[in-house]
Chain A
Amino acid sequence: MRPAAGRLGASRGRAARLLAAVCMSVGVLAGGATIGSPAVAAPTADPVGWGAQCGAAALGLGQDTVQLAPVLASDTLPSGGHIVPRPLSNGTWVPVIMVHGWTSQDSNNAARTGAFSHYIDLSDVPGFSPDVNRSLIGQLQRIPGAAVFTFDYHPYSARWVDDPHLGPALGKVIDCLYRASGQKVVIVAHSMGGLIARYAATHLGASGMDRSEEISSVVTFGTPETGSVAALLAATGIDVGASVSDELAVIRFILAACGKLASGDIRTGSICDTLPAPARAFASAAGIALRAGSPQLAALKPWPSSIRVTALAGNATFELPDPGWFSLPWDTTAVDVGDMIVTRGSALADATTTGNATCHYELNLVRGATDQVGVLLGLVAKSQVAQQPLGSFAGACFHTNLMRGIELTNDAYAAVSTDIASRAPVTAQELLSAPVPAACEHPAGGLVNGILPGIPANHGEMQLAWLNSSLLSESAGTAFGDLNGDGTGDAATILYCNAGGVSWPDIVAFYAQGQAGLRLLAWAYITNFNLPGIQEQENGFVRQIRYQDGTVYAEWSTQDNGDAAATSTLDYSATLRLSGGKITATNLVGVTERQTVLAFASDLRARNMAAADSLAAPGVGEQAASLFRSYPSALNAAPTCYGLNDVFTMPTALANLIDQGGSDQVNPETERLCAFPSTDPGADWIALGMEHTGWRTWRVLWAQGA
């Protein structure tokens, strides 16, 4: 988070954002034309500029293509209106990179042939036809802050992920978009695209480390993390073992059955559309590497733990009529083939969260009396409604269709929107429902309208310190900016609490956006921070906090040693920062009466009465000057200062001067006493009574010999 720009800068920012939104909407008018030329290298604050800056030509990616996905006119909102991408409330755009799968491609245009461009029109619920007038890309373009890019490597897609045009190329795109946006990127990938993303994530990025600092989350559709079972089909020389033999048998059976159908019977949405004719493709470098258990797969490093991986899988189960080896039956008649290309286990391996589209089918093999080519494939949904027309149900679980299914695309939308929403700056409104720590003898909980509910009457309270307070305003009690270094807007605020008696020290709490509401980054009683020799006190009242370049500048008052309860004579300021999950203080400066006393004595020594008078109550300057003239040794001595609670330990002659209600008490407004020792006859001390007149301001209230 940068410091707030001036009015002109803010205005320019708004104009630039508006321009970006307009440009992204141009696709609506252009029917999906490509935005931006690929040769511009100047840094820009908006996605349109990133598209040029991070295009294939600029990055030297050959025939790869990187585009800011245009908004398609035919992708519409539920209301029927056009989709208009917009940034987060603070102007932030987050790059979302779509990475297609093996043998697919990734354009987003009116033809809707891109891997993520087909309408969302399938469901794993039999009989339900989603009514969504947009694609997954369109869906993601609705998310505030999402700048959706497509990465297309299809001219090289038969190659393995370590080819310069695949994983390394995506890595360059990630580096570029990360640098251009200042935001960690989000990746949405299908099939082998997920492995390309894993390659990029685990190899050196712009920082010289892996790209875990450049990628926040990844959503995968049917990515063969541990390989593709279907790729094993071509591995006829390999004994794949019994673990996948059932799946392979079913896939082979369906491949053969589809091959028997006349071309007129093969229609979009039928199971046959979802199957590859893989002999040739599976023999490619990528196909061989995709085989479950391949050394190429084994060489891929696991996802960095800091990257949140949402893995989505198709899970089709086929109920077969008496499968086996002639009269020897299999253990089961139901075979889970995943999405036909990737098993569920492979697609969901090592994910942070997972989602499934689950479909159950019955395969009925009937040999017709007049059937000349053998068995026809009867495929029906296994549901309460037998023989239900397949319609949209056909294929929601199959590999090439996963991004058309309403269930999985909803999961993807949720994952991406949650990630991006976490980049939105924390607001004061959100602090009203912030989580609070266990403190002041109250359990941890969540504020409701700024107050922790559930505390019995007379047992105290926990609330935002600036709520309905005349002592601390909302602006003084909140500070907004990036506190944890992730580039997003966090917040610091002050919590007030007590346990039914006097106030406990104010609490300073740091918050960031979390997966579900605000997340408490760290907290501390303000009295945790003290200069050496100052004990931690009972009270501490924050005067103000403000954001300052990744830190929080804070001012507060607390007791000094010897002070009575609730007397605040020590005024602190410090720079608070998040460090190692804790709040630490630097530049800690404490101001007490002592600085004023020393200045006052210095003025007297310099015979600067005007200056001395400015630090004292009327007439007290001259009074003190007279005393020090009588006892000159005192003026050159170092003073000792006491609080009102020191009356039992300080010299009696001095204690009498401040003893509350005592006959020798000089002035009940006295808060501190500083005494200069005298070696001159007639007085052992020259005492100055001190009054705290404001934040870091004191005056000499009286002067007296003792």
Chain B
Amino acid sequence: MRRSRAVLWLACAFVIAAIAGAGILLFTQGRGTGGTAAPTSAKSLSASVAASTMDARQVADALRNLPDDPQTLVASDAQGQVAGRARQAIPPGTTVTPDEKSWSPDGVGGGTMLVTVTVPGHSPVTYDAIMVSQGGQWKVLATISVATSPSTAAVSPSASAS
């Protein structure tokens, strides 16, 4: 079971990297009509997958450190809104469970990862955390609440547009 899930994760990671690579190519080529980008090689795709896996691990580790010192995980662009209240959001004793598999790079030095936060005395809440890398450290820029429901409730863009 664990082996099959690992294979699946690797496949997903490859798909993500392929899409990101294709997107870059599409964008810089002006939708296939020119530009200066060279085609992305299989070697660079492999490197992307490896980098993404490493990022996911680092992001998850950073999130797990939230209860220790949440203020250190506040992204610079979020400082104004957090206003020194990070500890209020993540009080001592909070349990933070990142979903490493959910890591999704945004292609511009950041990405999102699901994380479930359980504050003592409260029900668990799942967020999609928007992460950015600043000074070699992963920080939380913002979070958006995620509702948990059967997969049939999910609405994808393709479904919406049909």
Contact = CB atoms under 8 A, between A and B. Distances in A.
Interface string B118-141: 010000011110101110000011
A277 B24 contact: yes
Nearest to B96: A326
B34 to A, nearest CB: 5
B16 A278 contact: no
A255 B34 contact: no
A375 B153 CA distance: 12
Interface string A56-79: 000000000000000000000000
B35 interface: yes
A323 B143 contact: yes
B127 A326 contact: yes
B54 interface: no
A275 to B, nearest CB: 8
A240 B132 CA distance: 13
B114 A367 contact: yes
Interface string B22-33: 111011111111
Q: Which of A236, A325, A387 has the most CB of B within 10 A?
A: A325
A373 B148 CA distance: 14
Interface in B42-88: 74, 76-82, 85-86, 88
Contacts of A472: none
B132 A236 contact: yes
A303 B120 CA distance: 58
Given A257-B112, A375-B114, A113 B31 contact: yes
B26 A277 contact: yes
A104 B30 contact: yes
Interface string A236-272: 1101111011101100110111011111111101111
B31 to A, nearest CB: 6
B30 A103 contact: yes
A249 B142 contact: yes
B160 A379 contact: yes
A452 to B, nearest CB: 57
Contacts of A367: 114, 126, 146-149
B6 interface: no
Interface in A377-429: 377-380, 387, 389-391, 394
Contacts of B149: 366-369
A245 B104 contact: no
Given A323-B144, A328-B85, A270 B157 contact: yes
A234 B82 contact: no
Chain B residues touching A, majority SS: mixed
B145 A365 contact: yes
Given A252-B110, A253-B112, A374 B34 contact: no
B110 A265 contact: no
Contacts of B34: 105, 154-155
B137 to A, nearest CB: 11
Contacts of A363: 144
Contact of A158 (B23, B36, B82, B119): B36
B107 interface: yes
A517 B45 CA distance: 61
Contacts of A364: 147, 155
B96 to A, nearest CB: 9
A484 B38 CA distance: 54
B30 to A, nearest CB: 5
Given A261-B157, A324-B142, A103 B27 contact: yes
A43 B26 CA distance: 41
B156 interface: yes
Contacts of A453: none
A322 interface: yes
A207 interface: no
Contact of B154 (A266, A327, A376): A376
Interface string A579-598: 00000000000000000000
Given A259-B105, A390-B160, A374 B35 contact: no
A376 B108 contact: no
Given A236-B133, A277-B20, A368 B107 contact: no
B106 A366 contact: no
B126 A256 contact: no
A343 to B, nearest CB: 15
Contacts of A255: 106-108
Given A154-B30, A279-B109, A325-B140, A365 B132 contact: no
Contacts of A280: 24, 27-28, 37
Given A155-B34, A328-B82, A365-B144, A256 B117 contact: no
A261 B110 contact: no
A323 to B, nearest CB: 5
Interface string A145-168: 000000000110110000000000
A1 interface: no
A249 B78 CA distance: 9
A662 B112 CA distance: 110
B16 A259 contact: yes
B107 A245 contact: no
A330 interface: yes
Given A252-B112, A262-B15, A154 B33 contact: yes
B158 interface: yes
Nearest to B9: A372
B100 to A, nearest CB: 10
Given A245-B141, A259-B106, A324-B142, A374 B156 contact: no
A233 interface: yes
Nearest to B141: A249
Interface string A271-313: 1100011111110000000000000000000000000000000
Interface string B7-24: 010001001101110111
Interface of B: 8, 12, 15-16, 18-20, 22-24, 26-37, 74, 76-82, 85-86, 88-90, 99, 101-114, 117, 119, 125-128, 130, 132-134, 140-158, 160-162
7 contacts: A103-B29, A236-B134, A244-B77, A252-B111, A326-B117, A376-B154, A394-B160
Given A325-B89, A327-B89, A375-B102, 8 more contacts: A155-B34, A263-B18, A265-B157, A326-B117, A328-B85, A328-B86, A367-B148, A374-B114
